[in-house]
Amino acid sequence: MSIDETVENQASPLIHGFTGSIHTSKRSKHKILFVDDDSNVINALRKTFSLEPYDILFTTDAREALSMTRREKPSVVICDLRMPDLSGIDVLQAISEFSPHIGKIILTGHAETESSIDAINLGQVDRFLIKPCNENAIRHAVSELIEVYELRVETDQLNQALAEKVYGLENFQHQLEIKVNERLDEIKQVNSLLDKSRKDIKLQYLSTIRVFCNFLELRSPALASHSRRVADLSRILAQQLALDENEVQQIYIASLLHDIGKIGLPDRTLFTPFASLDGEAQASLLKHPIRA
């Protein structure tokens, strides 16, 4: 049976121009909104879906349909194409802007097929049914669009959850980058302090070496001159052996101070030819590296 035949078979008088709702006795999570300026069509649709597990909303006022949609959040809206004030396409297009998940059906006549197809192509309408439409066809269309509605909602929820996780990961990455940069700054500061400490230690070390060299110079200029010649030759040999700069420097310093142990020897032992020294003095002189 078609919707038009249902209208013709109505036994009770029909009320023209009304808005209302019918809640099913069964537990339902879906609402269907009927929008048509012809209350006969509204009544026929109500009868068609009277046994379906949906809450039914209806209005003959196109603008009221927008308010009801915002307030009641139906899963599917069935709207007539030709209505005063606003067309069905205008109504569904407005609904799409604030409730894109809703399934949208246009009821249209044969002469309006082209405009209905254009509306579908523009994404304003999901289905269009040509009057007179079969009751089973419209029930099937609503059932399909409820599945589409659930899929759209689920997709949106998944996208939102994904966006939140992406945001969370980006925020975590940002916080991690901040901590890493803070840690790198701390490491740079520590390295800077270590470099300064190493430089200070090296300066102190070189300063100590100069002090010992000065002691050697004061004790015996000839001995100091000998130590410098040995140090210069040792550095040249180390460079010829392709030793690194640090090793060359260590060999130079060691050579420069190789006679430092002689500073504490008595003048007679230090300035007397080795062969003229007695055994005890010779033994003392030979032990100067140990004293160093």
pLDDT at site 8: 43
Average pLDDT over residues 178-182: 94
pLDDT at site 157: 93
Distance from first CA to last CA of the chain, Å, rounded?
120
Q: What confidence tens digit (pLDDT) does each residue in 111-163 have?
A: 566 666 666 666 578 888 888 888 999 999 999 999 999 999 999 999 999 99
Q: What confidence tens digit (pLDDT) does each residue in 43-80 have?
A: 888 888 988 889 999 999 999 999 999 999 999 999 99
Phi first, then psi, for residue 126 (nearest 5°) are -90, -35
The amino acid present at 253, given as its one-letter code, is I
Residue 7 in this model has a pLDDT that exceeds 60: no
Domains in the chain with CATH codes: 3-164 (3.40.50.2300)
pTM: 0.58
Closest CA to 233 of 262, 210, 250, 255: 255
pLDDT, the chain, mean = 83
Secondary structure (DSSP) of 100-148: TTSEEEEEE-GGGHHHHHHHHHTTS-SEEEESSPBHHHHHHHHHHHHHH
